[in-house]
Amino acid sequence: MKYRKHITLLVILMIGAFLLSCGPKERKAASQLDTPEHHTYTGIKLMNQGKYGDAQREFDLALQLDNKYSKAYVGLGLVKAFQEDFKSAFKMMKKAKGYAKSDQEKVFYHVGKLRLYTMAREGEDWIEDAEDEFEDAIDIDPKSSAAYYFMGIGYKLALEFGKSANMFTKVLELDDEYVADADKQWKLVQKIQRAMPGTITGKKIALVESITRADIAALFMEELKIDVLYKKRGVKTYDTEFKDPEKFKAKKEKPPITATDISEHVLRNDIEGILRIGVRGLEVDSTGAFHPDDLINRAAYAMMIEDILIKVTGDNSLATKFIGSASPFPDLRSDLPYFNAVMVVTSRGIMEAKEFASGEFTPLSSVSGADALLIIRKLKEELRFF
């Protein structure tokens, strides 16, 4: 019996030694720059460039040198989050928290966790979770520009633009890391605040870099309230959809005007509303398709605004007012089909040159959500005079 116990103990020890020999081993540094700190720094840089595979390799190299290096686990967590593997991301962050020893590592962890909550946005309380990490970070380092910057991003995505602007202002005051990024974000948030979107849809679209035909339909219906506007101003709308005479007699209710490619679109109701009202440039094509995800350029947007102005004011002369005029924009010929529309909206201050230094209108460039909202805001102000 005693002999068997000794044998069992020996076998257990041998298995333990085998498992240890098979586990990950820390490697020796191959050069002076082959350090966990340098690999993590490089990994963050690559991650910010969207090179997630290369970034993960750098974080793995850092952990090969020190498998308890907290910052590398934070980096891996963020890479997983960018790849939408949030389950693995939270696991990595848990390891990062356990290995964070110095104040610098703890701040880096809290900022990383803040970013993770902002990217995942899971549950109704995600912004509160992000705020908790922000508070923990600035309790350790009140001058952490990273904490203020990423909390600003969090508030922006939570559609709390006032709080977001305050965070970016703090980064600018600190005049440290993230100053250039914070300045860009602050200007965007300021533009959104000036546009004053009144609906959740409008606030969400305000964050979009390039708006689509569906986005424009939603903004016209929900922010401009074009159906109410047309009704107040006595603008006639026409149902031009073809109807079979026999089928039409059999139906008591008029079928909704729709498009062939919007049945599953989240903004279907807004699109159908625009199709009923009729706005130049937001019609269906010859196949009945609306193409909701096609991007809108500045020239097309100008033509839509011109159409609304003509209908609301009843001034049909606007459609030809600037034909034959010289173009004040170096990139806009006077013989282009959208020249008159551009002149109508710019002469009223509703739209303006995009490149102030060169005076270019850039008619074929995309329209951001914030710019689209600001233009609608200016259109509302213009229509108050009619």
Structure tokens at 180: 């250039």
The confidence score (pLDDT) of residue 373 equals: 97
Residue type, 140: I
For residue range 81-126, what is the model confidence (pLDDT) as tens digits?
999 999 999 999 999 999 999 999 999 999 999 999 999 999 889 9
Give me the sign of the Cα torsion angle 139, 141, 142, 147. negative
Q: At what angle do helices 103-120 and 86-99 cross, to 10 degrees?
A: 170
Mean pLDDT score of the chain, rounded to an integer?
90
Instruction: Calculate the dihedral angle through the C-alpha atoms of 172, 173, 178, 184, rounding to the nearest 10 degrees.
Output: -10
Question: 75 or 237, which is more confident?
Answer: 75
Q: Is the pLDDT of residue 13 over 60?
A: no
Instruction: Return d(Cα 28, Cα 6) in angstroms, integer.
Output: 38
What is residue 33's predicted lDDT score, i.e. its pLDDT? 77
Domain borders along the chain are 24-198, 201-383
Checking if the pLDDT of 195 tops 50, the result is yes
- Where helices occur in 293-356 by DSSP H, the ranges are 298-313, 339-347
pLDDT band at residue 384 using 50, 70 and 90 as cut-offs: confident
Strands (E), 80-154: none
Share of the chain above pLDDT 90, in %: 81
Residue whose tokens read 């609301």: 312
What does the pLDDT read at residue 24? 47
pLDDT at position 8 is 60
- The pLDDT of residue 357 is 87
- Tell which phi-psi region holds residue 239, choosing left (phi > 0), alpha (psi between -120 and 50) or beta: beta
* 24-198 is a CATH 1.25.40.10 domain: yes
Number of DSSP helices (H) and strands (E) in the chain, helices first: 18, 0
pTM of the model: 0.83
Q: What is the pLDDT of residue 254?
A: 54
Nearest to 369 by CA among 219, 269, 200, 164: 219
Whole-number Å distance between alpha carbons of 234 and 214: 25
| Alpha-helix runs per DSSP H in 49-82 | 52-65, 70-82
Contacts 24+ apart (CB under 8 A), 282-286: 282/213, 282/216, 282/217, 282/220, 284/259, 284/260
Residues whose CB is less than 8 angstroms from the CB of residue 155 and which lie 6 or more positions away in sequence, other chains included: 127, 161, 163, 164, 167
The burial of 5, by beta-carbon neighbours within 10 Å (0-12 exposed, 13-18 middle, 19 or more buried), is given as: exposed
Q: Which is more confidently placed, 255 or 293? A: 293
Q: Any residues with CB less than 8 A from the CB of 369 and at least 6 apart, and which?
A: 205, 206, 207, 208, 209, 211, 215
